[in-house]
Amino acid sequence: MDYLGYLIAGWAVVLGAVAVYAVSLIRRGKALSARVPADRRRWMTTDG
Amino acid sequence: MTITSAAPQTNSVANNPGSTGSTATRALGLASLVGLAVLLVLAFVITDPDQRVFDRGADLEPLLTGQGDAVRLLYVHFPVAMVTYIAFSLNAVGSIAVLWKKSTWWDNTAAAAAEVGVLFCGLTLVTGSIWGRPIWNTWWKWGDVRLMTTTILFLIFVGYLAYRRTMTDSRVRAKRSAVVGLIGAINIPIVYKSVDWWQNRTLHQQSTLRDRSIEDLTLFAMIFGMVVFVAIFAWLMIHRFRIGWLEHQTETVGLEAAIEERRAQTSAAIFDAVTDSRPSHETGSD
Amino acid sequence: MHEIWALARKDLLIEARSKVVATQVVPFAMVVLILFGLALDADSRTLRDLAPGLFWVATLFAGVLTIQRSVAVETLSSTFEALRLSGAPGWKLFAGKALAVGVQLLAVEAVLALGIVVLYRSEFEDPVLVVTAAVAATIAIASAGSLYGVLAVGMGVRDTILPMLLLPIMMPVLVAATRAFGDGLGTAALDGWTWTGLLGLLAIIYATVGALAYAVVIEDT
Rounded distance, CA B254 to CA C7, Å?
42
Total Cβ atoms within 10 A of residue C17 = 7
Q: Identify which of B152, B159, B186 has the shortest CB distance to residue C209.
A: B186
Instruction: Please report the pLDDT score of residue A18 as a whole number.
Output: 96
Query: Hey, which chains touch A, using 3+ CB pairs under 8 Å?
Result: B
Q: Identify which of B8, B72, B127 has the shortest CB distance to residue A14.
A: B127
Size of interface B-C (CB pairs under 8 A): 75
Chain B residues in contact with A20 by the CB 8 A cut-off are none
* Chain B residue with Cα closest to A8: B73
Would you give the DSSP letter of residue A37? -
State whether residue C1 sits within 8 Å of chain B by CB.
no
* Chain C residue with Cα closest to B160: C165
Total Cβ atoms within 10 A of residue B148 = 22
Q: For chain B, what percentages of helix, strand and coil (3-state, to nearest 5) are there?
A: 75, 5, 25
Nearest residue to B154 (alpha-carbon basis) of B182, B184, B130, B131: B184
Q: Is chain B in touch with chain A: ≥3 Cβ pairs within 8 A?
A: yes
Instruction: Please report the pLDDT score of residue B192 as a whole number.
Output: 76
Average pLDDT of the residues in A29-39: 83
Cβ–Cβ < 8 Å for B139, B133: yes
Consecutive 10-residue runs of chain C (221 residues): their mean pLDDT? 86 90 93 92 83 96 94 81 80 93 96 94 92 97 94 72 92 92 89 91 94 86 65
CA distances from residue B143 to A30, B146, B193 in whole angstroms, order as listed: 44, 9, 12
Chain B residues in contact with A27 by the CB 8 A cut-off are none
Q: What value of ipTM does the predicted structure carry?
A: 0.88
Confidence class for position A46, pLDDT limits 50, 70, 90 = very low
List Cβ<8 Å contacts ≥24 apart for B244-250. B244/B108, B244/B111, B244/B112, B245/B3, B245/B7, B245/B108, B246/A29, B246/A32, B246/A33, B246/A35, B246/A36, B246/A41, B246/B20, B247/A32, B248/B104, B248/B108, B248/B170, B249/A36, B249/A40, B249/A41, B250/A32, B250/A35, B250/A36
Residues 134-153 of C with CB under 8 A from B: 144, 147, 151-152
Chain A residues in contact with B242 by the CB 8 A cut-off are 29, 41, 43
Is the confidence at residue B52, as pLDDT, over 60? yes
Is the confidence at residue B207, as pLDDT, over 60? no
Chain B residues in contact with A32 by the CB 8 A cut-off are 20, 243, 246-247, 250
State whether residue C213 sits within 8 Å of chain B by CB.
yes
Domain ranges of chain A: 4-38
Cβ–Cβ < 8 Å for B12, A38: no
Cβ distance C151 to B187 less than 8 Å, yes or no, reads no
Cβ distance C164 to B158 less than 8 Å, yes or no, reads yes
**Greater model confidence, B10 or B117:** B117
Cβ distance B247 to A14 less than 8 Å, yes or no, reads no
Would you give the DSSP letter of residue B4? G
Instruction: Please report the pLDDT score of residue C157 as a whole number.
Output: 59
Cβ distance C157 to B184 less than 8 Å, yes or no, reads no
Considering A30-44, B35-49, B153-167, B194-208, the range whose residues carry the highest mean pLDDT is B153-167
Say whether pTM exceeds 0.90.
no
Q: Identify which of B155, B195, B198 has the shortest CB distance to residue C168.
A: B155
Rounded distance, CA C220 to CA C84, Å?
10
Rounded distance, CA B92 to CA B182, Å?
6
Average pLDDT of the residues in B90-107: 92
Cβ–Cβ < 8 Å for B95, B182: yes
Rounded distance, CA C24 to CA C196, Å?
30
* Chain B residue with Cα closest to A28: B243
State whether residue A23 sits within 8 Å of chain B by CB.
no
Q: Identify which of B152, B168, B195 has the shortest CB distance to residue C156.
A: B168
Give the minimum alpha-carbon distance from C19 to chain B in angstroms, rounded to a whole number: 30
Cβ distance B167 to C155 less than 8 Å, yes or no, reads yes
Dihedral through CA B186, CA B189, CA B194, CA B195, nearest 10?
Answer: 120
% of chain B at pLDDT higher than 90: 38
State whether residue A31 sits within 8 Å of chain B by CB.
no
Is the confidence at residue B281, as pLDDT, over 60? no
Instruction: Please report the pLDDT score of residue B159 as a whole number.
Output: 94
Chain C residues in contact with B166 by the CB 8 A cut-off are 156-158, 161
